Amino acid sequence: MSIRYLEKERIFWLDTPNTTYLLGIVAQEGFLGHLYYGKKLEDVTGAETLLRTSEPPYVPEKNDRDRSSFFDAFPFEYASHGVGDFRESSLKIRTGRGHEAVSLVYLKHEIRRGKGKLSGLPATFGTESDVTTLLITCVDPVTKIEAELSYSTFERVDAIARSVRIKNGSADPVWVEKVMSACLDMEGKEFDVLSLHGSWARERQMERKPLGHGIYSVGSLRGESSHQEHPFLGILSKNADQTSGEVYGFHFVYSGNFLAQAQRNQFGQVRVQMGIHPEAFSWKLASGESFQAPEVILTYSAEGLGGMSRSLHDLYLNHLIRSPWLHQKRPVLINNWEATYFDFTAEKILDIARESAKLGIEMLVLDDGWFGNRFDDNRSLGDWWVNEEKLRGGLGKLVSEINALGMKFGLWFEPEMISPESRLYEEHPDWAIQIPGRRACRARNQFVLDVSRGDVRDYILRQMFAVLHSANVEYVKWDMNRPLSDLGSADLPADRQGELSHRYVLGMYEMQERLLAEFPNLLLENCSGGGGRFDPGMLYFSPQIWCSDDTDAIERLGIQEGTALLYPLSCMGAHVSVCPNHTVGRTTPFSTRGMTALAGTFGYELDVTKLSEEDKAAVPKQIRAYHAYSDLIREGVYYRIASARETRDYDCFQVTDRGGRKSLVFFTQVLATPNMKSRCIPLQGLKKDAKYRIWQVNLDKEQMLTDTGKVASGAVLMNAGMILERPWGDFQGRLLYLEEI
């Protein structure tokens, strides 16, 4: 088994294919301490000395006069609160008497094959043959609070899934006011910290900085994982790059408020924690009740950031995404949003569909504006019935006509929102999240529905199901366009109002689960004003997420780089749009736009009837390339070669099949520079003894492949590099295809 308990040493030994994780029980009281996480160990003899219990201040039974010194330095596996450890704690409980101190000690453990579900939450999964789970129950002898720490290891992936379940073993109610899902104490090394920050239209920008003394944290209080910060933290050795150095990755499988932090203390020790953000969170537990915290994914790579990326990609593809579309080619779609915004009729949509079908586009997605009295973004959210003033004859007629063209049909919803000007709000103003007597904060002139309430969820789903059953809708884009504020629920008692943010996320998860149960073959794409809820929790429900509302090909290089750091390319919604770009006003070549979108789900966001003849003629050629290489992009292995964020003038990445036989190289010259030679690009993931022929892929010519006449060995391509004559001019892309001969 990949998890063992060494009874004599009182050590738990967890292995993945290339890593080892060790924790142990110490002292008479049974404190649980972290020993090691890193490269795989074949022998752990002497590992117990890593806990330093044989040196001052010693364990409490040997030196109880310095108990605080022990608590303040011991590498706790799950950190206590209020009893002498003055670092950030993992768990905070408030009793009926107002006390908050808690100190957990080992009670029992169980090792089992497989992995159980987390009640109401998305989580990784696996069978008894490919996952092993360790459950350690700890207890606070004073408050009778129990914490069940869960660790799951994967036979073929270098990742560990951690979560915590808190149980109230006392006779009286308590309030959980902080619960981290994972805590990791590490020996003091000089680390850098890597995070992903951003805003609307510039999500997931990579930022790296030294980890000094004190606390570095990222988090969200927006009710969603957010555009601004991402539920990820990387802890990197100073020498770490894409191919070498140590990298610890922490990723939260959750779609609401989160906190991720790294703390370097007075001794240089580093504590990393991740969980639900404790601000605006409180959960009442009656006697015998439990609270399940979401899951955190831990991964360690000794092969730099690239090793971390590939482990997370493999984990999500094999143990998180459940959709029947996971390994299927996604239909090439066209979305009408940037083509028409709210100004459309059925005939306009059919015009777009007719022209799209001629060019080989396979699905039309009708975005915002098809329902209620929705002629702009000021009204009608919550009124989910078809506006037949726009769609004369109804949705069924429109979809039938689009299907007759050989195209599929998809539809946009924003189920979690309600407009003040809507029939739903007139009838149920108490269904909006708000605080009585306080002027509610609007965003995009809309409020948020209280989907923590079962009656609200039932109503919205009935409306959605009626629409979806009325026509052959094969795709749904589920959007969310504003954060949560004014947290108040008319349905929760005063002592449970602190539960609203988490209950909201649980309610949203339930809605998506019920949607997929009703329509099991539906292709669901999640969205939140672009990439505001692009997180592992949402991947559990949808195999793809709209990456960003910014469709500019050059801006997308950085957005998609930060996204691909953690997520498979097949998850990233990416479209070709018109120029000047609607977000940044930039003009880029149509072929570069196509190449950038190919590194995702691929589609179009434009009015195809208004394209120039040259661009229109290029659409079938781009679609031809998509069909030729979508399997490789979807199932292949991702390698980051160069980042425009660092080089300032060019960007490059590579996708290789898992046998190392075929590879695509994406290269973009962002800015032209004078007096420069051709680039020498070192590739990755090839077979060193194989020989490869190199073709250029043409996205705008009748002949898709041009033989460059070059043949090189994998060893030369990976060690010496591939000479690439740079494209001339700003924003020029080049796509190369390599195949073993």
Q: What is the mean pLDDT of residues 406-432?
A: 98
Q: How confident is the model at residue 188 (pLDDT cuts 50, 70, 90)?
A: confident
Q: What is the pLDDT of residue 647?
A: 92
Count of CB atoms situated within 10 Å of the CB of 708? 15
Smallest CA-to-CA distance from 225 within 203, 193, 249 is with: 203
Q: What is the mean pLDDT of residues 248-253?
A: 98
Radius of gyration over every alpha carbon of the chain, rounded to an integer in angstroms: 27
Is the distance from CB of 166 to CB of 179 less than 8 angstroms? yes
Q: Are residues 650 and 595 in the same domain?
A: no
Q: What is the pLDDT of residue 1?
A: 76
Quickly tell me which residue has 């109610």 as its tokens.
173
Smallest CA-to-CA distance from 682 within 628, 724, 738, 636 is with: 724
User: Residue 486: pLDDT above 90?
Assistant: yes
Report if residue 581 sits inside a domain.
yes
User: Residue 726: pLDDT above 80?
Assistant: no
CA separation for the pair 22, 44 (Å, rounded)? 9
Report if residue 142 sits inside a domain.
yes
Report if residue 535 sits inside a domain.
yes
Q: Are residues 376 and 486 in the same domain?
A: yes
User: Residue 152: pLDDT above 80?
Assistant: yes
Q: Is 225 helix (H, G, I), strand (E, B) or coil?
A: coil
Q: Are residues 257 and 341 in the same domain?
A: no
User: Residue 639: pLDDT above 80?
Assistant: yes
Q: What is the mean pLDDT of residues 2-30?
A: 96
Q: Are residues 303 and 430 in the same domain?
A: no
Given the residues 85, 479, 550, 615, the one annotated as active site = 479
Q: What is the pLDDT of residue 673?
A: 84
Quickly tell me which residue has 């992903």 as its tokens.
196
CATH code, domain carrying 723: 2.60.40.1180
Smallest CA-to-CA distance from 194 within 269, 268, 267, 251 is with: 251
Q: What is the mean pLDDT of residues 538-547?
A: 98
Q: Are residues 564 and 586 in the same domain?
A: yes
Beta bridge partners of 696: 706, 736
Q: What is the mean pLDDT of residues 1-13?
A: 95
Q: What is the mean pLDDT of residues 559-563?
A: 98
Pairing of strands 258-264, 270-275: antiparallel
Q: What is the mean pLDDT of residues 451-470?
A: 98
DSSP run (H or E) holding 112 = strand 105-113
Q: What is the pLDDT of residue 552?
A: 98
Q: Are residues 202 and 160 in the same domain?
A: yes
Q: What is the pLDDT of residue 587?
A: 97
Report if residue 328 sits inside a domain.
no
Last residue in a domain, options 588, 615, 634:
634
Q: Are residues 694 and 679 in the same domain?
A: yes
Q: How confident is the model at residue 410 (pLDDT cuts 50, 70, 90)?
A: very high
Q: How confident is the model at residue 122 (pLDDT cuts 50, 70, 90)?
A: very high
Q: Which phi-psi region, left, alpha or beta, contains residue 80 (left: φ > 0; alpha: ψ -120 to 50)?
A: beta
Q: What is the mean pLDDT of residues 283-287?
A: 98
Q: What is the mean pLDDT of residues 357-373?
A: 98
Average pLDDT over the chain reads 97
Task: Look up 549 and say whether it is catalytic.
Answer: yes
Total of domains in the chain:
3
Q: Are residues 597 and 675 in the same domain?
A: no
Report if residue 327 sits inside a domain.
no
Q: What is the mean pLDDT of residues 276-303?
A: 98
Q: What is the mean pLDDT of residues 380-394?
A: 96
Count of CB atoms situated within 10 Å of the CB of 634? 20
Buried b (16+ CB within 10 A) or exposed e, 329-342: ebbbbbbbbbbbee
Range of the domain at 311: 3-319
Model confidence pLDDT, tens digit, residues 515-541: 999 999 999 999 999 999 999 999 999
Q: What is the pLDDT of residue 634?
A: 97
Q: What is the mean pLDDT of residues 349-357?
A: 98
Q: What is the pLDDT of residue 242?
A: 97
Q: What is the pLDDT of residue 678?
A: 83
Q: What is the mean pLDDT of residues 386-399?
A: 96
Q: What is the pLDDT of residue 281?
A: 97
Last residue in a domain, options 634, 654, 682:
634
Q: Are residues 531 and 648 in the same domain?
A: no
Q: How confident is the model at residue 675 (pLDDT cuts 50, 70, 90)?
A: confident
Q: What is the mean pLDDT of residues 379-384?
A: 98
Q: Are residues 626 and 647 in the same domain?
A: no
Report if residue 678 sits inside a domain.
yes
Quickly tell me which residue has 């108490």 as its tokens.
430
Model confidence pLDDT, tens digit, residues 212-250: 999 999 999 999 999 999 999 999 999 999 999 999 999
Report if residue 410 sits inside a domain.
yes
Q: What is the mean pLDDT of residues 473-487?
A: 97
Residues near 703 by beta carbon (within 8 Å), at least 6 away in sequence: none
User: Residue 180: pLDDT above 90?
Assistant: yes
Q: What is the pLDDT of residue 198?
A: 97
Is the distance from CB of 283 to CB of 272 less than 8 angstroms? no
Report if residue 326 sits inside a domain.
no
Quickly tell me which residue has 């659409």 as its tokens.
619
Q: Please give, one letter per residue, the 3-state secondary structure of 351-392.
A: HHHHHHHHHCCCEEEECCCCECCCCCCCCCCCCCCECCCCCC
Q: What is the pLDDT of residue 697?
A: 98
Q: What percent of the chain has pLDDT over 70?
A: 100
CA separation for the pair 355, 345 (Å, rounded)? 16
Q: Are residues 305 and 370 in the same domain?
A: no
pTM of the entire structure?
A: 0.97
Beta bridge partners of 651: 668
Ranges of H-type helices in 565-676:
590-598, 613-635, 644-647
Q: Are residues 450 and 467 in the same domain?
A: yes
Given the residues 535, 549, 550, 607, the one annotated as active site = 549
Quickly tell me which residue has 């000089």 as its tokens.
190
Q: What is the mean pLDDT of residues 333-352?
A: 97
Q: What is the pLDDT of residue 669?
A: 94
Last residue in a domain, options 619, 634, 649:
634
Q: Which region among 47-56, 79-88, 290-299, 729-738 has the lowest average model confidence (pLDDT)?
A: 47-56
CATH code, domain carrying 268: 2.70.98.60
CATH code, domain carrying 477: 3.20.20.70
Task: Look up 649 and say whether it is catalytic.
Answer: no
